[in-house]
Amino acid sequence: MTATRNDQRGEVAVRPASSPGAVAKPARTRLLGGFLWGIAGVALIALIWEGYKFFGPDNGVLIGELRVLPRTTDLAMPHLWDMMTRLAEPVTRADGALPLWAVVALASLMTLGIAAAGWAVGVIVGVVFALLMQRWRLAEFGLLPWIVISQTVPLIAFAPIVKSWGSRVEIGSFEWQDWMSVALIASYLAFFPITVGALKGLQSPDRIHVELFDTYAAGYWPTLVRLRLPAAVPYLLPALRLGAANAVIGAVVAEVSTGLQGGIGRLLIQFAGQASGDPSKAWGPIFGAIVLGLVTAGSVALLGIILKDYRRTEEAA
């Protein structure tokens, strides 16, 4: 953003975040400043947590029957430092048990793998659908309303049912594995935003560019490769990120509802069950899920850096 002209004195109610104010600081200083403030934001949340735990009543704050603020016992709200130290301790008292963080990391890796498989399937299916709809408008008319609707409804409700498919599908020597049910649900959630984003992107070239390719007598495939796909990149990247986030959510939820062992979703349920004796332990997989989400988004962001030439208009905006 470049709009910095008239708002130097802060008299304007709203100003763009990236407007550097009166003095344009060097980019690196600004980046560092943003980073430090971000840390301060996280620290503030931590402070609120511990502050409320210290001052709040044990039984929480109730309005009538409804508890609007949580209980502050160690059982309900463990200390942050307890959560951290718990991560380093062994997961069970059994001999040779791995520390909690390692168990969480292994489970996260498994979920990440399943989500990635689901995401990949979602990308392929989504892009194929978008290509079909871009090529034939009748396909767009027929399919798009259903895709939009399906985006607004809780299709993840299917998850417990998909489980019932798993054990009974057998085609030749191929046997349906439980993790495939989970990946299927993940791909299901990932595919919708990707389809819509890819379609928007493929349809995004300006009329002038389409006509230019017409004047070059360029057929469908050259136009697709040299015009439509590159033009779709700025639309595709947010869609891929959304798809990745959905794939992770789908994988976690599907692990819970199908009861698949070994993933982060299973740990969430399992450790929550042990929370009455070991409340800090339940937070381990939550941190794992947070890291999982960040890693996924970061991977897609990396893709965006590789494709930066195709995002020039986006940056100029």
Partner 1 sequence: MTTNTTANAIIGAGTGATRTKGWSPRTESILRVVAPVTLGIIVLAIWQFLVTVGGVSDYLLPSPTSIMAELVAYWPAVVSATVLTGTNSLLGLLVGSLLGIILAAVAARWRIADQMSAPIIAALAVVPIVALAPVLNSMFGADSQFGRQAIAAIASFVPIFINTLRGFRQTRPVHRDLMKAYAASSGQMLRSLTLPTARPFILTGIRIASSLAVISALVAEYFGGPRGGLGSLIATSAASSAYSRAWAYVGASIALGLLFYLATLALERLVLRRVPTGGSR
Partner 2 sequence: MSDQIPTTTPAADTMTTDVSDAAVAVRGLNKQFQTASGIVHALEGIDLTVEAGEFVSLIGPSGCGKSTLMRLIADLDVPTSGELTVFGKTATQARLDQDYGIAFQQAGLLPWRTVAANVALPLELHGVASAARRTRVADLLEMVGLTEFADRFPDQLSGGMQQRVAIARSLAEQPRLLLMDEPFGALDEMTREKMQTDLVRIAADTGAAVVFVTHSIPEAVFLSDRVVVMSPRPGRISDIIPMRLDAADGREERDDDLREASSFFEMVTEVREALHGGASDAENPAPRAARGVDTR
First to last CA, the chain: 7
Residue numbers 293-312 binding partner 1 by CB under 8 A: 293-294, 296-297
Residue numbers 182-221 binding partner 1 by CB under 8 A: 196, 199-200, 202-207, 209-211, 214
175: three-class secondary structure by DSSP: strand
Q: How far is the CB of 95 from partner 1 (least distance, A)?
A: 28
Query: For tokens 């168990």, what's the residue?
Result: 103
What is the four-CA torsion angle of 26, 29, 33, 39, rounded to 10 degrees? 140
CB under 5 to 8 A by kind: which of partner 2, partner 1, none does 183 bind? Answer: none
Q: How far is the CB of 315 from partner 2 (least distance, A)?
A: 8
Q: How far is 310 from 77, CA to CA, in rounded Å?
A: 47
Q: Is 280 exposed, middle or buried (0-12, 13-18, 19+ CB in 10 A)?
A: buried
- Long-range pairs for 5-9 at CB < 8 Å and ≥24 separation? none
Q: Which stretch binds partner 1 (CB under 8 A): 29-37, 90-98, 177-185, 215-223?
A: 29-37
Segments in the chain forming alpha helices (H) = 27-55, 80-88, 100-135, 137-152, 159-166, 178-202, 207-215, 220-223, 229-258, 264-273, 283-306, 312-316
Closer Cβ to partner 1, 41 or 96, answer by number: 41
Residue 226 is a binding residue for partner 1 (CB under 8 A): no
The site string for partner 1 over 274-293 (x = CB under 8 A, - otherwise) reads -xx--x--xx-xx--xx-xx
In sequence order, the β-bridge partners of residue 174 are: 171
Return the residue of 80, 106, 131, 155 that touches partner 1, per CB under 8 A. 155
Residue numbers 215-274 binding partner 2 by CB under 8 A: 215-218, 222, 226-227, 230-231, 233
Q: How far is the CB of 206 from partner 2 (least distance, A)?
A: 7
Do the beta carbons of residue 270 and residue 282 sit within 8 Å?
no
The site string for partner 1 over 232-261 (x = CB under 8 A, - otherwise) reads --xx--x--xx-xx--xx--xx--xx----
Q: How far is 153 from 192, CA to CA, in rounded Å?
A: 11
Tokens linked to 251: 């994988």
Query: For tokens 């090529």, what's the residue?
Result: 135
The site string for partner 1 over 115-154 (x = CB under 8 A, - otherwise) reads -------------------x--xx-xxxxxxx-xx-xxxx
Residue numbers 164-223 binding partner 2 by CB under 8 A: 206, 208-209, 211-218, 222
Residue 37 is a binding residue for partner 1 (CB under 8 A): yes
Closer Cβ to partner 2, 185 or 233, answer by number: 233
Closest residue by Cα to residue 197 from 300, 277, 280, 273: 300
Closer Cβ to partner 1, 95 or 317, answer by number: 317
Residues forming contacts to partner 2 in the complex (CB under 8 A) are 206, 208-209, 211-218, 222, 226-227, 230-231, 233, 309-313, 316
